Amino acid sequence: MADRVPYDEFAYFADNAAEHGLRYNGPPAVRREEIELDDGRHLSALVWGTSSPELVLVHGGAQNAHTWDTVALALDRPLVAVDLPGHGHSDGPADTDRSTRVAAMAADVADVVRVLAPDAAAVVGMSLGGMTSIALATAAPQLVRMLVLVDITPGVTGAKAKAIIDFVRGPSTFASFDDLLARTIEHNPTRTESSLRRGILHNAVQEDDGSWTWRYRRHDGPPLVEEEAPPQDEAEDAAGQERGWAALGAVTVPVMLVRGMLPQSVVDDADEAELRRRLPDARIEHIEEAGHSIQGDQPVELARLIADFTRRSR
């Protein structure tokens, strides 16, 4: 058996705080909760704080709840960060058909929110988590009082997200931690090596032979993250985008889009214009030094915008 790399998911918060200049007064109150769904599957979530959660954070495809750690530290508010089905510590999704997967994920997330954060002021969704949050607002509007979309709109296509798709479709197993780190650094030029090391420890597992496997790949069945889905024909893709835009356009609660402005972002000016057309009152914010994963590139600024939006929109 190969030497094991030690891992404690709650051991890195001081590093998160130090990297971004946040005051750290000792370990925060964070616990992991598992919610059993009606079909026997379990969804996992990190619960921050000891009082009623004020926010729900939903990560992107091929990520997990720990992607929000620095944002949560900066916000310093009680919140819930969910592991989507097939990600992190959650079981796989009930529905792996691409056309209905997001709606199925939203139904699962709704069950978690009803138990852990029924009175949350806002739902914050990044990438796949953003599309899931739009579907959640449609399926369970009583749970979504404000909506924050992090670098995602229904107009994002496979072409816009090609770099992410290529990364996710890459190797699922690596001979060593260093091999996995090297590939991750190559894909994330805007991030520090220390932050990527933490991210890998949260998002990959070491096998008995010493190799490493992405945590989101450790489920049977077809691909589980939206970015891995096979391409659709243009007509089907356009129809799917229109359904997404129609769902977002029907949202009646305050909406904010936070868009990264570096080339790694998947949102473009056309997406922004369409959002303004569908929701003229939506708030749109640009973060110049962030790509797609704004919560990793500029977590403190993202936290500031979330705090300001939820305060002003009450």
From residue 73, alpha-carbon distances to 54, 172, 252, 278, 302 in Å are: 14, 30, 30, 33, 12
Predicted confidence at residue 313, as pLDDT, reads: 59
Q: What average pLDDT does the chain have? A: 92
- Is 276 domain-assigned? yes
What residues make up the domain containing 72? Answer: 13-156+234-312
From residue 54, alpha-carbon distances to 80, 196, 275 in Å are: 8, 28, 26
The pair of three-digit structure tokens given for residue 26, joined into one six-digit string: 């000792």
> Mind telling me the catalytic residues?
127, 151, 292
Nearby residues of 311 by Cβ (< 8 Å), 6 or more positions away: none
- Is 224 domain-assigned? no
Question: Tell me: the pLDDT tens digits for 128-148?
Answer: 999 999 999 999 999 999 999
Between helix 128-139 and helix 234-249 the angle, nearest 10°, is: 60
Predicted confidence at residue 127, as pLDDT, reads: 96
Of the ranges 95-109, 118-132, 266-280, which one carries the lowest mean pLDDT score?
A: 95-109
- Is 229 domain-assigned? no
- Is 35 domain-assigned? yes
Of the ranges 75-79, 111-115, 233-237, 250-254, which one carries the lowest mean pLDDT score?
A: 233-237
- Is 187 domain-assigned? no
Predicted confidence at residue 223, as pLDDT, reads: 39
Q: What total of structural domains would you count in the chain?
A: 1
- Is 250 domain-assigned? yes
Q: Which domain CATH number covers 292?
A: 3.40.50.1820
Nearby residues of 284 by Cβ (< 8 Å), 6 or more positions away: 256, 257, 259, 272, 275, 276
Choose among 67, 47, 70, 49: nearest CA to 58: 67
- Is 146 domain-assigned? yes
Q: Stretch 116-128: mean pLDDT, rounded? A: 98
- Is 217 domain-assigned? no
For the entire predicted model, the pTM comes to: 0.94
